[in-house]
């Protein structure tokens, strides 16, 4: 009888890990309770006053270089649902507006993944083992680069001794200034990446109010980007484009991510800390920056059984090399040694719609 009581107490204590509040991080080996639906919304921002990691002024410098990244604002919406006791699904959508190449890059990011719990036992060191299968799509509006310093930077990268340059809205060709009715510019088009990944997660309940998880992810990305001169209906511009033989920057890449997540719930406060190391495998000509370190921290307050409010921040040591793969190419890769970080604030609403 005593042995049965002890077993029941151990199992009851262990099952608290499954009911530990999910806050902002999704890098957990424990699935959501069956029937639980959680909705998240976040506002994302970095500028001079919200430079929480002190990287903007030190790392970004001036924007007169093709590939440089500046301020950012955006939002994030998410939903996660416990299908069964072993199965949960996660959907996430982000919109980022990033100062890039003297203009604003409007990027949309959609992610979906399914998590299946393979093992859930109190008798091993790692008490939970789960498996994720996911898909990520990044896409951005065409970007017009009209800043002359940026344009000349691009020309030098594409063809260093071309004899062409931009000045005061005109084209200088071997010392001769040619003025057009419409000022010429570069357009970056068809920016898109489709990524597919699998992730293995191991979790250990450190106490009834804390969970430590480690994980490994393999990701494959198909990436599309195209450069072009505009205006496209101008004969002289078309002649320059032919002279430069602008490349199509389509490619693929593979990534390995290793990371850990620690979540602690103390009274009505939840602390999430996530670290991830990424190794990126590209063509030999694209190997200037092939790693990234990402730190993601948030503090959440439980307002009641349905509502959680949170604040946090994300820091990337090699900016968006893992988040926006189409920004990395042979002309921009030397810019990816910069740190980048942003702040976030938002709400989580959780409930059971089907009781």
- The Cα 46–Cα 68 span in angstroms is 15
Greater model confidence, 225 or 307:
307
How much is the pLDDT for 101? 66
How much is the pLDDT for 258? 97
Structural element, H or E, at residue 10: helix 2-19
Q: pLDDT tens digit string along 179-225?
A: 777 777 777 888 899 999 999 999 998 888 899 999 999 999 999 88
Name the pLDDT band for 3 (thresholds 50, 70, 90). Answer: very low
How much is the pLDDT for 142? 84
Q: pLDDT tens digit string along 68-123?
A: 566 788 999 999 999 999 999 999 999 988 877 667 888 999 999 999 999 888 88
- The Cα 201–Cα 215 span in angstroms is 4
Mean pLDDT within 144-166: 74
How much is the pLDDT for 153? 75
How much is the pLDDT for 179? 74
CA distances from 28 to 17, 106, 119 (A): 10, 30, 13
Across 176-180, 216-220, 240-244, 246-250, which has the greatest mean pLDDT?
216-220
Residues 6+ apart with CB under 8 A from 331: 66, 67, 154, 157, 158
Name the pLDDT band for 334 (thresholds 50, 70, 90). Answer: low
Residue 214 neighbours by CB distance under 10 Å: 16
Share of the chain above pLDDT 70, in %: 79
How much is the pLDDT for 125? 87
Across 24-28, 60-64, 281-285, which has the greatest mean pLDDT?
24-28
Q: What are phi and psi of 111, to 5 degrees?
A: -135, 140
How much is the pLDDT for 294? 92
- The Cα 50–Cα 28 span in angstroms is 29
Structure tokens at 142: 């065409």
Only one residue has tokens 């205006």, namely 231
Q: DSSP labels for 157-224?
A: HH-TT-SEEEETTEEEETTEEE--SS--EEEEEEEEEEEEEEEEEEEEEEETTEEEEEEEEEEEEEEE
Structure tokens at 69: 């990244």
The overall average pLDDT reported for the chain is 80
- The Cα 188–Cα 157 span in angstroms is 15
pLDDT at 62 over 80: no
pLDDT at 352 over 70: yes
- The Cα 242–Cα 179 span in angstroms is 19
Q: pLDDT tens digit string along 308-333?
A: 999 998 888 877 667 778 777 777 66
How much is the pLDDT for 1? 47
pLDDT at 243 over 80: no
Name the pLDDT band for 146 (thresholds 50, 70, 90). Answer: confident
Is the preceding peptide bond at 23 cis, omega within 30 degrees of 0? Answer: no
Dihedral in degrees, nearest 10, Cα atoms 277, 281, 283, 286 = 0
Q: Could you tell me the domains of the chain?
A: 2-141+193-232+249-351 (2.40.160.40)
Range from 119-128, 213-222, 280-289 carrying the lowest mean pLDDT: 280-289
Q: pLDDT tens digit string along 4-32?
A: 433 333 333 344 345 566 777 889 898 98
How much is the pLDDT for 93? 97
């Amino acid at each position: 009888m005593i042995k049965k009581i002890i077993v029941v107490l151990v199992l009851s204590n262990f099952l608290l890990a499954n009911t530990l509040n999910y806050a902002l991080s999704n890098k957990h080996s424990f699935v959501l309770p069956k029937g639980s639906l959680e909705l998240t919304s976040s506002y994302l921002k970095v500028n001079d006053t919200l430079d929480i990691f002190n990287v903007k002024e030190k790392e970004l410098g001036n924007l007169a270089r093709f590939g440089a990244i500046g301020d950012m604002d955006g939002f994030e919406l998410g939903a996660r649902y416990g299908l069964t006791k072993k199965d949960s699904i996660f959907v996430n959508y982000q919109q980022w507006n990033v100062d890039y190449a003297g203009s604003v890059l409007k990027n949309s990011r959609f992610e979906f993944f399914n998590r299946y719990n393979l093992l859930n036992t109190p008798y091993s060191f790692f008490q939970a083992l789960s498996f994720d299968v996911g898909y990520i799509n990044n896409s951005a509006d065409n970007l017009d680069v009209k800043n002359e310093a940026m344009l000349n930077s691009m020309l030098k990268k594409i063809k260093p001794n071309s004899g062409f340059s931009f000045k005061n809205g005109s084209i200088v060709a071997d010392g001769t200034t040619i003025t057009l009715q419409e000022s010429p510019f570069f357009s970056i088009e068809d920016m898109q990446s489709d990524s597919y990944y699998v992730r293995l997660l191991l979790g250990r309940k450190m106490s009834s109010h804390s969970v430590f998880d480690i994980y490994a992810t393999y990701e494959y990305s198909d990436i599309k980007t195209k450069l072009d001169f505009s205006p496209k209906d101008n004969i002289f511009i078309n002649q320059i484009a032919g002279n430069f033989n602008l490349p199509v920057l389509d490619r693929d890449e593979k990534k390995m991510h290793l990371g850990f997540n620690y979540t602690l719930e103390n009274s009505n406060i939840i602390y999430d800390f996530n670290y991830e190391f990424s190794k990126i495998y590209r063509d030999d000509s694209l190997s200037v920056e092939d790693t990234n370190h990402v730190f993601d921290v948030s503090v959440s307050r439980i307002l009641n059984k349905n509502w959680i409010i949170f604040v946090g921040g994300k820091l990337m040591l090699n900016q968006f090399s893992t988040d926006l793969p189409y920004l990395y190419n042979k002309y921009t890769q030397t810019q990816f040694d910069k740190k980048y970080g942003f702040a976030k604030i938002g709400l989580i609403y959780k409930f059971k719609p089907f009781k």
